[in-house]
Chains A and B, each alone.
Chain A
């Protein structure tokens, strides 16, 4: 009788007594949460795609080239000289996002956002290195890489704060903006804000896990699975940025 039950268990993954997906419940639940979160972000981005597609394509920029010098009031210059920002056409992202900290009056299209992307990818790499070190139970390495991840996340948040304040400084609001279609800035604030909130909560989770690594909580537990779970969330944030970057700055 006993041997019979054993053979059934071996046959079926779902027979009970073992994890059918071969991951712990925490990791599985993190995956399911990320799936639902992916749906949330998808609906936001699809809303963006719908509104973006219901407007005319951006007007091609024939005048301003990268590294060109611009006047102090860049938006005004664009509106007067080139008539790029009009109501029926979606604004060309390279003409809107062309600022860089400490550099004034030079047209640097998409330079800053590329830097932000680079920072986020790099912090994702340090996170996965922390997870990899966790598999070897190397406490000092885990804490080193987690600290680097936290710094990367904080840098990204700082960049986003700067971008937002520049954008708001030019007159962008939730209810309107000087670049053309009213929904442009509203969508930008809502989607990058929602993503930024995810980065922020990711940094908070990372800090908590980092403190626990330093305290030796996971060392006592015998495994660094919590770092893996936080890592899954962090990579998801990076993944979402790939699409936010694609839709807001490239398309």
Chain B
């Protein structure tokens, strides 16, 4: 445990507490926006609505990872080595959505 003392301290903003609460309100607001959009667009089944929800989820993820998990204040190298591999998930999502569309078609012609 000794070597921890030698680590140069990554910068933490002085007003961390207020930033935490600000993030809480942002997350809460986005959740409320999610639910409001859900009920406004209840009859809408277009794909962009789903992408909108996913986008809102990614925005919330940005605040959770950035502020709560302290990622904003870590070294850039650490940030990229965790964030960049998530490209595989984006790739996989695209792949399986296209695949799901075909399966839907197959059900239609059954």
CB-CB < 8 A to A54: which residues of B?
100-101, 103-104, 107
Instruction: Tell me if A165 counts as interface (CB < 8 A to partner B).
Output: no
A251-B53 contact in complex given A118-B28, A238-B68, C-beta closer than 8 Å? yes
State in angstroms the CA–CA spacing of A20 and B77 once bound together.
9
Name B92's contact: one of A19, A46, A121, A129 (CB within 8 Å). Answer: A46
Instruction: Tell me if A21 counts as interface (CB < 8 A to partner B).
Output: yes
A223-B31 contact in complex given A21-B74, A128-B20, A238-B68, C-beta closer than 8 Å? no
**Pair B7/A251 contact, Cβ less than 8 Å:** no
CB-CB < 8 A to B40: which residues of A?
none
**Min distance, Cβ A120 to any Cβ of chain B, angstroms:** 10
CB-CB < 8 A to A13: which residues of B?
77
Nearest B residue to A43, CB-CB: B92
Instruction: Tell me if A194 counts as interface (CB < 8 A to partner B).
Output: no
Instruction: Tell me if A72 counts as interface (CB < 8 A to partner B).
Output: no
**Pair A239/B64 contact, Cβ less than 8 Å:** yes
CB-CB < 8 A to B54: which residues of A?
246, 251
CB-CB < 8 A to A245: which residues of B?
31, 34
**Min distance, Cβ B12 to any Cβ of chain A, angstroms:** 7
Contact flags A182-215 to B (C-beta < 8 A → 1, else 0): 0000000000000000000000000000000000
State in angstroms the CA–CA spacing of A131 and B70 once bound together.
10
CB-CB < 8 A to A135: which residues of B?
12, 16
Contact flags B4-48 to A (C-beta < 8 A → 1, else 0): 111110101000110011011001100100110011001101000
CB-CB < 8 A to B69: which residues of A?
231-232, 235-236, 239
- Listed A/B pairs (16) with beta-carbon separation below 8 Å: A22-B78, A31-B78, A38-B86, A39-B89, A42-B93, A46-B96, A94-B39, A132-B17, A135-B16, A235-B69, A239-B64, A242-B57, A242-B60, A245-B31, A250-B35, A251-B53
* Residues of chain A whose beta carbon lies under 8 Å from any beta carbon of chain B: 13, 18-24, 28, 31-32, 34-35, 38-39, 42-43, 46-47, 49-58, 60-61, 66, 88, 92, 94, 109-110, 114, 117-118, 121-122, 124-125, 127-129, 131-132, 135, 221-223, 225, 228, 231-232, 235-236, 238-239, 242-243, 245-246, 249-251
